[in-house]
Amino acid sequence: MSFKAVAAAALALLLAGAIVLYYYAGQEPGPLVKIEKPAAIGGGPVPLDVTVDSVGTTLRRLEVSVEQQGRVFTLFSLDAPGEARFVQETAHRIRVTQESPAGALTGLRDGSARLVVTASRDVLYGIRRAEAVETRELAVRLTPPKLAIVSMHHYVNLGGAEMVVYRVTPADAASGVQVGNRYYPGYPAAGAAGSLAPGAPPVDPALRVAFFALLHDDDISTRVRLVARDPAGNAASAEFAYRAFPAEFARRRLPVTDAFFKRVVPPILEATPALTLPVGTPEERLEAFLRINGDLRRANQAQIEDLARVTSPEMLWRGTFARMGRAKSEALFADHRTYVFEGRDIDQQVHLGADLASTRGAAITASNTGHVVFAGFLGIYGNCVVLDHGMGVQSLYAHLSSVTVEAGDRINRRETIGRSGDTGLAGGDHLHFTMLVAGRPVNPIEWWDPHWIADRVDRKLVEAGIMSASAATKAPVVTPPAKKKAPARAKAKPAAPKKKAPAKKR
Ligand SMILES: [Zn+2]
């Protein structure tokens, strides 16, 4: 074989090898693409959050577009990244986030669309590129949700609660009542209907029920309104007529002694591993008491607020909440307390519950039907039970000597849950009781009152066709304290008619 022939054969072999390499390089996978956002497109800014891993080589191309009925809208391009932010998560993985202003995808219509992410990376020393295309179906919703109040006559006392019935569309929008910067979620009204009479029409799926509160330390003029947000991020709000009434809360000076610290501080610390403090001297006990009365009180409140997240969407309760029988009221809701030690003012706190005392170790019963969401030691509250009654309404029982229920138990109204005691920060055997709305303490006195339940809750459910009139709490409907001076937002309408209340648009 001549040299020429050998050279030609070698060249042919090389060429064949190159072709094979080139072919297989083309079969290599493209970059790994992960789409976090958007999950939907609304009328507001369009968020983008995409992670791309170029698997050991160089990323060459990254394009994000939205396609709808043959039209292509570019959302991002690596060639013109604009305001996008890049985070190098590993040597070859980058995360791209971007917030396109509202109207960035002008021309897009309500309906469905497809997010298309195209990425390519170098293979074969940059001679070839491997491409990946990742898509996601998106709902496009450019119209915000609609809200309309249904219930009438809303009166909220400082430190107290109130309820609204309203309508929200579309049905998958999250909605509720916004009181200043605090949000109170609404729940589908069907959850308040119980078992409907045979033949009764189903509850309108757009109807919602929301309990909300004007907390004891809220300003009386705090703005209260309905709010909604759909999965595409479109938000809406609606005003409704209500009146807010001020309330006077007592101020008390509460003497405390080292003997009291000696009794209450060590057991609380023992049951609270997160708080380790020395208690050998009176000064140390005073310091520990101040930490418990301040830091631990706030931590306990945060824990109680978390329990609202597991509330049932069903209204599990009916009628008034039962007050502890034959018990003397020892302290009212929202009493302001100044703690006095050896003639000095050492601390100030607000007492967010009602103290009720009867006999030592008295049976403590559930104020209404619900589920146990907490049963155990809870810092300043000692042995404590929290019952969930649904729709964000809960009741709390503190300082118990014994607890006879467990988290998850279903409890009927007046069923025994434990015995009274003096565990936690308690001066003596008593029950500390409070109602909670979305985890925030509210004045229990309202929930014990049949007039309040009949007018603020059941009347509105009956008027909205959610509750039958025969199931409503029987108490004369009281006229609101209209003579009291209050910053009226709107005049109260005449007594509500018995028929279904029409939705008011505002
Ligand atoms: Zn108390």
Highest mean pLDDT among 98-102, 190-194, 308-312, 323-327: 308-312
Q: Residue 18 has what pLDDT?
A: 76
Is pLDDT of 259 > 90? yes
Distance (angstroms) between ligand 1 centre and the Cα of 274 equals 23
Cα(196)–Cα(190) distance, rounded to whole angstroms? 9
Cα(384)–Cα(374) distance, rounded to whole angstroms? 7
Query: Number of C-alpha atoms within 13 angstroms, CB side, residue 429?
Result: 13
Is pLDDT of 497 > 50? no
Lowest mean pLDDT: which of 17-31, 172-186, 327-341, 432-446? 17-31
Q: Residue-wise over 315-351: b if at least 16 C-beta within 10 A, else e?
A: bbbbbbbebbeebeeebbbbbebebebeeeeebebeb
Distance (angstroms) between ligand 1 centre and the Cα of 339 equals 14
Cα(387)–Cα(412) distance, rounded to whole angstroms? 10
Is pLDDT of 209 > 60? yes
Higher model confidence: residue 340 or residue 478? 340
Distance (angstroms) between ligand 1 centre and the Cα of 331 equals 7
The closest of 106, 161, 110 to 140, measured between CA atoms, is: 110
Q: Residue 104 has what pLDDT?
A: 82
Distance (angstroms) between ligand 1 centre and the Cα of 17 equals 85
Query: Dihedrals φ, ψ of 174, to 5°?
Result: -80, 135
Distance (angstroms) between ligand 1 centre and the Cα of 210 equals 27
Distance (angstroms) between ligand 1 centre and the Cα of 296 equals 15
Lowest mean pLDDT: which of 87-96, 119-128, 306-315, 323-332? 119-128
Pairing of β 155-157 and β 243-245: parallel
Q: What is the pLDDT of residues 54-80, one digit of tens each?
A: 888 889 899 999 999 999 999 999 998
Distance (angstroms) between ligand 1 centre and the Cα of 325 equals 17
Distance (angstroms) between ligand 1 centre and the Cα of 326 equals 17
- Which is the CATH superfamily of the domain at 24-140? Immunoglobulins (2.60.40.10)
Strand partners, 386: 374, 396
Q: Residue 505 has what pLDDT?
A: 37
Q: What distances in angstroms separate CA 442 from CA 100, 308, 354, one per listed residue?
A: 42, 14, 10
Q: What is the pLDDT of residues 217-251, one digit of tens each?
A: 999 999 999 999 998 889 999 999 999 999 999 99
CB contact at 8 A, 304 and 436: yes
The mean pLDDT value for 294-315 works out to: 97
pLDDT band at 200 (very low <50, low <70, confident <90, very high): confident
Q: Residue 502 has what pLDDT?
A: 42
Q: Residue 27 has what pLDDT?
A: 78
Q: What is the pLDDT of residues 160-171, one digit of tens each?
A: 999 999 999 998
- Which is the CATH superfamily of the domain at 146-247+465-471? Immunoglobulins (2.60.40.10)
pLDDT band at 489 (very low <50, low <70, confident <90, very high): very low
pLDDT band at 43 (very low <50, low <70, confident <90, very high): confident
Mean of per-residue pLDDT scores for the chain: 91
pLDDT band at 500 (very low <50, low <70, confident <90, very high): very low
DSSP per-residue letters across 339-390: EEETTEEEEEEEE-SEEEE-STT-EEE-SSSEEEEEEEE-GGG-EEEEEEEE
> What is residue 462's three-state secondary structure?
helix
pLDDT band at 493 (very low <50, low <70, confident <90, very high): very low
Question: Which pTM was predicted?
Answer: 0.81
Distance (angstroms) between ligand 1 centre and the Cα of 353 equals 6
Q: Which residues contact 178 (CB under 8 A, 6 or more apart)?
A: 184, 223, 224, 225, 226, 227, 237
Cα(95)–Cα(31) distance, rounded to whole angstroms? 13
CB contact at 8 A, 354 and 329: yes
Distance (angstroms) between ligand 1 centre and the Cα of 433 equals 7
Q: What angle do CA 212, 214, 220 make, to 5 degrees?
A: 145
DSSP per-residue letters across 220-287: TT--EEEEEE-TT--EEEEE---EEE-----EEEEE--HHHHHHHHHHHHHT-TT-----SSHHHHHH
Q: Residue 206 has what pLDDT?
A: 96
pLDDT band at 492 (very low <50, low <70, confident <90, very high): very low
Residue type, 306: D
Distance (angstroms) between ligand 1 centre and the Cα of 412 equals 24
Distance (angstroms) between ligand 1 centre and the Cα of 399 equals 8
Distance (angstroms) between ligand 1 centre and the Cα of 262 equals 19
Q: What is the location of CATH 2.60.40.10 in the chain?
A: 24-140, 146-247+465-471
Distance (angstroms) between ligand 1 centre and the Cα of 298 equals 15
CB contact at 8 A, 184 and 176: yes
Q: What is the pLDDT of residues 341-379, one digit of tens each?
A: 999 999 999 999 999 999 999 999 999 999 999 999 999
Cα(211)–Cα(304) distance, rounded to whole angstroms? 17
Kindly state the tokens that stand for 315: 């209204």
Q: What percent of the chain has pLDDT over 70?
A: 93
Distance (angstroms) between ligand 1 centre and the Cα of 113 equals 56
Distance (angstroms) between ligand 1 centre and the Cα of 28 equals 69
The closest of 372, 335, 329, 353 to 440, measured between CA atoms, is: 353
Q: Residue 477 has what pLDDT?
A: 54
The closest of 425, 429, 439 to 402, measured between CA atoms, is: 429
The mean pLDDT value for 33-45 works out to: 91
Distance (angstroms) between ligand 1 centre and the Cα of 183 equals 26
Q: Residue 201 has what pLDDT?
A: 81
CB contact at 8 A, 215 and 440: yes
CB contact at 8 A, 305 and 343: no
Distance (angstroms) between ligand 1 centre and the Cα of 373 equals 20
Q: Residue 506 has what pLDDT?
A: 36
CB contact at 8 A, 394 and 432: no
Kindly state the tokens that stand for 450: 């049949």
Distance (angstroms) between ligand 1 centre and the Cα of 90 equals 54
Is pLDDT of 496 > 80? no
Provide the 8-state DSSP code for 323. Answer: P
Distance (angstroms) between ligand 1 centre and the Cα of 355 equals 5
Distance (angstroms) between ligand 1 centre and the Cα of 221 equals 28
Cα(39)–Cα(229) distance, rounded to whole angstroms? 14
Q: Residue 417 has what pLDDT?
A: 98
pLDDT band at 476 (very low <50, low <70, confident <90, very high): low
Q: Residue 480 has what pLDDT?
A: 65
Distance (angstroms) between ligand 1 centre and the Cα of 356 equals 8
Distance (angstroms) between ligand 1 centre and the Cα of 445 equals 14
Distance (angstroms) between ligand 1 centre and the Cα of 432 equals 4
The mean pLDDT value for 301-316 works out to: 97
Distance (angstroms) between ligand 1 centre and the Cα of 335 equals 10
Q: What is the location of CATH 2.70.70.10 in the chain?
A: 251-442
Is pLDDT of 499 > 50? no
Q: Which fold has domain 251-442?
A: Glucose Permease (Domain IIA) (2.70.70)
The mean pLDDT value for 396-420 works out to: 98
Distance (angstroms) between ligand 1 centre and the Cα of 351 equals 6
Q: Residue 482 has what pLDDT?
A: 59
CB contact at 8 A, 184 and 212: yes
